[in-house]
Amino acid sequence: MKIKCLSRNPDDFLRETKRDIHKVPRNYDPKLHPFEAPREYVRALNAAKLERVFAKPFLGSLDGHRDSVSVIRKHPTSLSLLLSGAYDGEVRVWNITKRNCVKSVQAHDGLVNGVCGHPNGEYIFSVGADKQIKQWNITVEGDIQDQPKSTILGRSVFQDIDHHGKDNFYATCGAGVNIWDEERTEPIRYFTWGVDSIHHVKFNPVETNILGAAASDRSILLYDMRGSTPLRKVILKLRSNAISWNPMEAFIFTVANEDYNCYTFDMRKLSIPLNVHRDHVAAVMDLDYSPTGKEFVTAGYDHCLRIFKLDQGHSREVYHTKRMHRVHTVCWSLDDKYIMSGSEEMNIRLWKARAWEKLGTLKSRESTALQYNDKLKNKFGNHPQVRRILKHRHVSKMIFHNTREIRKIREAAKKREQNRMENSKIGTVQYTSERESHVIGEKE
Amino acid sequence: MESLLVTTVEEDDDDDEIQPNLMDDESSDEDVDDEHHASLLSSITSLTDQKNKNTQQRTVASADVSEYGFSKLYEKDSQVNLSELVSSLNSSTSAGKLKKNIKTIEQEKVADVPLVKPQQERLTRSIAYQAKTEEISKWQPLVRKNRKAEQLTFPLQQPNLSLRTSDEMTKRFQARTPLEREIAMLLHGSDYVEKQTKMLTPAEERALKAMSLEEAKERRAELNKYRALMTYSEAKFRRQKKIKSKRFHKILRKEKLKKEEKELDVLQKTDPESYLEKIEYADRARVEERMSLKHRGGSKFARKKMMYARYDPLARQAVQDMIEKNKELTKKHYESSEDDSDGDVSMDEDAEFRMLSAALDTKGDNPWMKAPTKSSDFVRPKKITQVKKNTEASDSEEEEVLTFHPDNMNTDKNLLELEAQRQKKLKLKNKTQKVEVFDMSNIDSPGKEQQDLDEDKVDGDENDELEKKLSESLKKEELVTPGKKSRKKKKKTPKIGEDKMADVDEDKKDVEDLFDILENVEKHQAKKKKTKKEIKLKENSKSSVESKKEENCELEVNDDEELCHSMTRKRTMEEYESNWVEEEDITPAKVKKQENSEESSQAPNIKMVSIDPKKLFTIGPEVIKSTDGAEIVTNEDGDNMLDVEEEQRMTIAQAFADDDVIEEFKLEKREIADQDKPKDIDLVLPGWGEWGGADIEPSRRKKKRFTIRQKNRAKRKDSKMANVILHEKKDEAVAQHQVKQLPRQFLNTKQFEQSISQPIGNTWNPEKAFHRMIQPKVVTQLGSIIKPMDKEEMFKKQKLDKTAGGDFNKNEPKKNQDKSESRKDIKNIKKKVINRKRK
């Protein structure tokens, strides 16, 4: 009996050598693939689940400080070095790859208020509560001498220090903002605007002569290093704790505010923030932009870090551990892969910038698969099931309850406002948008 | 004078400047009359008197006189203008210079009072801020571009990693090590190195120069001679090649052979070993030539066959046979090619292949696998092996010949003697029996047949015609050169009967004849029958043509049995199908025999497939219409396609013979339809208004009255679709997965749905498109520092672009500079303005 079977030409499906890729005959005619979308949906669901499975952001902690960490800063030229200052006046240099402390120096009496590095990476500066600015030599390995290269004694306490992006200038703040030339012991410029005590100052990394500062009179100030006067001042409802400039968009900066929010401003239009980022349930202490300028990370008084996208109002990620207390300071590594945070309980923690990302070299197939998964998550991110998985984060009890409470408060306020509008004469109660409501005024 | 005190600050300033002039005037006019002076005074006093009369008001002292000695507050009327003061001058003509001065003063504008410090600072700040915002707005286009970019690769400023060309490398190269230096010396300093600009090296040139004139001439003459000789011989060969006469070429060949023979003779005497070797070589050459010449398609016969092949299946078969035979004879053996593959890889491949083939084709039914893609593992068709055996047999025969030739010289000699004898006899007969001999040779001489083996197979009629023509032409030739022709004929008509007469002239045999004889001896027996048959055919040719054909057929079929399969791989199913068809066509006799058996084998096949026609999905004509036009054409053009489709359907039906999918599907559909149908509500109360009990049913009338009938809903949507179930209720399970709100980035639902229905994966997209689609928005490298945007770098690039394009933004930096200057000190600018105006 002769039975005819389905048969194929082996030429069509056999590869010629072992190193060839497998021949996979495909017909891309959409008529033959009626279930494309559902199949991709399932893949997206799986991708979302896998993302959550692999989301393990915490890499390790650097312990050694004997008091709360007040400030951490990136080394400008080395990815593996990290500078930190603590409340006991100690400055430490860390090697992140080895996860050890390279050097520790008792730099100041009282707390270290600020640390910064010279852009060529050859020396660092520190300011403390003892009214001193100290300059330290630092080697490529991160070793610093016990004695500072130079010390400047100021008239008042310096609250913060930041270095110019290119030239040999640095700025300190305290009572006003001082611009220093490295070669001189007196400031080359001194900015004041009324009676103010400024606690944070930051150079614009792109337009290197512009500075931003946060003052304790709830204002944000802008300066031009070359001018004789400040440029402008914005007063918010509560004081801003820190300011950070976008390294890729010269006119964009974000401030971390006491009112649990972050505000992104365009330097050219300060009357209204571009975006209000809110998710924290306590004051935001510090923030730092990713070097790509697409995201920034914030340190919260509510024991957690959050990562915000520049154009989104809510955070995409929240990092916390059981043992981490109030986070004072945070920075995003220069290769856009890691985040470092310094917190009250004396630890510096190392995190991944993208919690599920696989570090190290990827095979091409692996990276293709990951990219495809990313695209799928993006494509189906609006579907409730996928969204639910992607958005789910575990948070501490405190944050969970506070979030609920704050939401209730906000809703109540909103309702109250609405009622007021409805029950008063038309035109007497104006509607103010969320963005407007936080700014008191822009001062020339 | 009191009123003069009460003037504005500005006027004060003016006065400062005016005063000296006035003073000058007075000093110059020292001889002013007392009268003049008195009149001036009086006029002034009169003015003041008027004022006093008009403004009789009480004022607060502090308002008029401030603590600093002057008051800002004053009434309009209390002010005294300059024009009022000097109004009297209008009437007079003496103080012309003064008048002029006053005029110029009046035309001039005066700077404002400097602002208070806070206000001043605010102004400077706002100006500086505006300048800064303008400056920073330069980034706007770049930022926007980066935000919109499909993909951003960080760090933005990638280092230039272009490869250097070899030319650049050679230019840069410097010899450093001793070895390198030595080589460089050799390359650049030596006389024997060619240079790009010159044809000859210095050494060669020197050598050329060294040659004497005579020598050179001699050499040249020699060279010329050789060249001429070469061209002569070339021309000669070309001419010879063009000659179409076969005879000529034959003669040529013979001459050549004779020459060789003579040489051989000499060799035999001088060096018997090399002689033997040569003979052996000739044997082999002969064998090879036989093999290669026989079955080439270029022969007359083959061409003719090819012409007929389109119409005559037999002819086609013959051609194919011939080709196949040729192929088979010239084919390499597989064993040799097998060794080519090497090492591990091939082993793995084999393993892989075996596995796959095992999975796919457990019983070896796959026709693809029958084709010898892989030499070792494939089942070779039976006939190929047969062919092999045949060739082997023929090889052995030839071997026999070879062994027979050198070893048994005696027998060989015998044969040679026979041949020589025959020749002599023929010589004698030559003059008398020319025509007879020729005819004989034409009809039944085995030699002739052997010469034109191809012609043996020609059909009877054709054969006749050909022979006639040949004979005619040969006769003509004979008339021209009777002597030669006859000699030839003698050689080519060996007759075994005459063999016994022996002559001793062994040495004069030629090699070819020797071989002919050998073959003749062997083949004579085999050919006898054939020739007899042909003779018979010739006799009966006029009476029965058809019978001849049949017989020929048989003959060819017999040949056919030996060689049937080609070694070429078949790539499509059609090839196989066509081959089967051909086979069936070619061997009608066999087919007739086989038909019965095949029918008997197919019959149970058909019986095995028991298909319920109702349980088949019918593929309507619409389906075909919906596809391309080309397919419709194929459907129309033959039953073949339909047959294939039918067969496929049958096989599918066979595969799913047991599971009754269709019935199940129908059931399911019915169930769903029933579920969705609204049900009648039965409100009958048994025993109400009539007898009730265990076995008593309520009456039909009552039932009819108390059941609430549901209206028949519209027909289900899937009622006309045989193979589809449409769920008309919303499915909760699905709703869970559906998007409830339109996401922000989409304008309408249609857009969103389109974006979802467009797949990204490589299951549905070609590889390149897939990779393009999954490109990440941001690419960063692990371990590379991403520096903030560099102003200089970025704008340097932009400037370069712009210089290439238009002069956009050219003036901007200058403006900014101006502004930054202005920012520094606003007072300076003001002064400048004033100065400019004064000038």
The residue type at B617: F
Span B414-435, pLDDT tens digits = 555 555 555 555 555 544 444 4
Compute the distance between CA of residue B111 and CA of residue B604 in angstroms, rounded to an integer: 121
Q: Which of B156, B784, B789, B828 to mutate to test the interface with A (most CBs of A within 10 A)?
A: B789
ipTM summary value: 0.92
Residue A381's pLDDT is: 94
Residue B73 makes CB contacts below 8 A (sequence gap 6+) with: B63, B64
The stretch B582-586 carries a mean pLDDT of 46
Residue B817 predicted with pLDDT over 50: no
Of B567 and A4, the one with more pLDDT = A4
Residue B509's pLDDT is: 47
Contact residues, chain A, for B129 at CB < 8 Å: 222, 231-232, 444
Span A315-344, pLDDT tens digits = 999 999 999 999 999 999 999 999 999 999
Range in A189-193, A203-207, B155-159 with the lowest mean pLDDT: B155-159
Contact residues, chain A, for B355 at CB < 8 Å: none
Residue B2 predicted with pLDDT over 80: no
Range in B115-119, B492-496, B539-543, B571-575 with the lowest mean pLDDT: B492-496
Residue A368 makes CB contacts below 8 A (sequence gap 6+) with: B771, B774
Residue A233 predicted with pLDDT over 60: yes
Span A290-301, pLDDT tens digits = 999 999 999 999
Closest-CA residue of A relative to B571 is A9
Compute the distance between CA of residue B106 and CA of residue B11 in angstroms, rounded to an integer: 11
Residue B417's pLDDT is: 55
Residue B660's pLDDT is: 79
Under a CB-based contact definition with an 8 Å cutoff, are residues B502 and B421 in contact?
yes
Paired tokens of A176: 């006003």
**Number of alpha carbons in the 13 Å side-chain half-sphere of residue B130:** 11
Q: Which residue in B139, B786, B824 is closest to A249 by CB distance?
A: B139
CB contact under 8 A, A227 and B139: no
Residue B577's pLDDT is: 52
Contact residues, chain A, for B368 at CB < 8 Å: 7-10
| Distance in Å, alpha carbon of A176 to nearest chain B alpha carbon | 16
Residue A186's pLDDT is: 93
Q: Which of B570, B597, B605, B787 to mutate to test the interface with A (most CBs of A within 10 A)?
A: B787
Q: Which of B145, B600, B763, B828 to mutate to test the interface with A (most CBs of A within 10 A)?
A: B763
Where residue B106 falls among pLDDT bands split at 50, 70, 90? Answer: confident
| Distance in Å, alpha carbon of A231 to nearest chain B alpha carbon | 5
Residue B488 predicted with pLDDT over 90: no
Where residue A280 falls among pLDDT bands split at 50, 70, 90? Answer: very high
C-alpha closest to that of A201 among A127, A150, A148: A127
- Rounded to 10°, the helix B588-608/B545-562 angle is 60
Task: Map residue A430 onto helix, strand or coil.
Answer: coil
Q: Which residue in B129, B771, B785 is closest to A231 by CB distance?
A: B129
The stretch B223-252 carries a mean pLDDT of 91
**Class of domain A59-352 as given by CATH:** mainly beta
Residue B318's pLDDT is: 82
Contact residues, chain A, for B764 at CB < 8 Å: 28, 30, 33, 36
Contact residues, chain A, for B351 at CB < 8 Å: none
Where residue B715 falls among pLDDT bands split at 50, 70, 90? Answer: confident
CB contact under 8 A, A384 and B736: yes
| Distance in Å, alpha carbon of A423 to nearest chain B alpha carbon | 32
Compute the distance between CA of residue B361 and CA of residue B348 in angstroms, rounded to an integer: 19
CB contact under 8 A, A207 and B773: no
Under a CB-based contact definition with an 8 Å cutoff, are residues B295 and B325 in contact?
yes
CB contact under 8 A, B760 and A372: yes
Range in A209-223, A386-400, B531-545 with the lowest mean pLDDT: B531-545
Residue B661's pLDDT is: 81
Average pLDDT score, chain A:
93
| Distance in Å, alpha carbon of B627 to nearest chain A alpha carbon | 11
Residue B674's pLDDT is: 85
The stretch B360-367 carries a mean pLDDT of 55
Residue B826's pLDDT is: 52
Residue B567 predicted with pLDDT over 60: no
Task: Map residue B767 onto helix, strand or coil.
Answer: helix
Q: In degrees rounded to 5, what are phi and psi of residue A291?
A: -65, -15
The stretch B687-696 carries a mean pLDDT of 84
Q: Which residue in A13, A41, A165 is closest to B788 by CB distance?
A: A165
CB contact under 8 A, B365 and A5: yes
Contact residues, chain B, for A232 at CB < 8 Å: 125, 129
Residue B469's pLDDT is: 53
Task: Map residue A190 onto helix, strand or coil.
Answer: strand
CB contact under 8 A, A229 and B121: yes
Residue B649's pLDDT is: 80
Residue B276's pLDDT is: 85
Q: Which residue in A17, A40, A444 is closest to B761 by CB distance?
A: A40
Residue A126 predicted with pLDDT over 60: yes
Residue B827's pLDDT is: 53
Under a CB-based contact definition with an 8 Å cutoff, are residues A74 and A93 in contact?
no
Average pLDDT score, chain B:
66
The stretch B116-121 carries a mean pLDDT of 91
Q: Which of B121, B127, B132 to mutate to test the interface with A (most CBs of A within 10 A)?
A: B132
Q: Which residue in A165, A294, A375 is closest to B773 by CB distance?
A: A375
The stretch B509-530 carries a mean pLDDT of 52
Q: Which residue in B128, B133, B783 is closest to A229 by CB distance?
A: B128
Closest-CA residue of A relative to B770 is A372
Residue B451's pLDDT is: 43
Range of B629-633, B770-774, B831-835 with top mean pLDDT: B770-774
Q: Which residue in A40, A252, A368 is closest to B774 by CB distance?
A: A368
Residue B47's pLDDT is: 67
Where residue B549 falls among pLDDT bands split at 50, 70, 90? Answer: very low
Residue B598 predicted with pLDDT over 80: no
Residue B404 makes CB contacts below 8 A (sequence gap 6+) with: B411, B412, B518
Residue B400's pLDDT is: 42
Strands A210-215 and A219-224: antiparallel
The stretch B277-290 carries a mean pLDDT of 74
CB contact under 8 A, B122 and A224: no
Contact residues, chain B, for A291 at CB < 8 Å: 154, 785-788
Of B461 and A358, the one with more pLDDT = A358
Residue whose tokens read 């400056």: B135
Residue B621 predicted with pLDDT over 60: no
Where residue B721 falls among pLDDT bands split at 50, 70, 90? Answer: confident
Residue B578's pLDDT is: 55
Closest-CA residue of B relative to A32 is B764
Strands A230-236 and A439-443: antiparallel
Residue B377's pLDDT is: 41
Range in A200-214, A229-243, B103-117, B536-550 with the lowest mean pLDDT: B536-550
Span A48-66, pLDDT tens digits = 999 999 999 999 999 999 9
Contact residues, chain A, for B137 at CB < 8 Å: 251, 268
| Distance in Å, alpha carbon of A209 to nearest chain B alpha carbon | 10
The stretch B658-680 carries a mean pLDDT of 84
CB contact under 8 A, B778 and A222: no
Range in A229-238, B31-40, B809-818 with the lowest mean pLDDT: B809-818
Task: Map residue A48 onto helix, strand or coil.
Answer: helix
Where residue B305 falls among pLDDT bands split at 50, 70, 90? Answer: confident
Where residue B288 falls among pLDDT bands split at 50, 70, 90? Answer: confident
Q: Which residue in B143, B759, B774 is closest to A37 by CB distance?
A: B759
CB contact under 8 A, A227 and B824: yes
Residue A122 makes CB contacts below 8 A (sequence gap 6+) with: A137, A138
CB contact under 8 A, A208 and B791: yes
Residue B574's pLDDT is: 58
Span A369-428, pLDDT tens digits = 999 999 999 999 999 999 999 999 999 999 999 999 999 999 999 999 999 999 999 889
CB contact under 8 A, B360 and A17: no
Contact residues, chain B, for A375 at CB < 8 Å: 760, 773-774
The stretch B812-839 carries a mean pLDDT of 48
The residue type at B297: G
Residue B312's pLDDT is: 84
The stretch B17-33 carries a mean pLDDT of 47
Closest-CA residue of A relative to B572 is A9
Residue B80's pLDDT is: 73
Of B84 and B598, the one with more pLDDT = B84
Residue B729's pLDDT is: 76
CB contact under 8 A, B146 and A336: no
Residue B378's pLDDT is: 40
Compute the distance between CA of residue B240 and CA of residue B255 in angstroms, rounded to an integer: 14
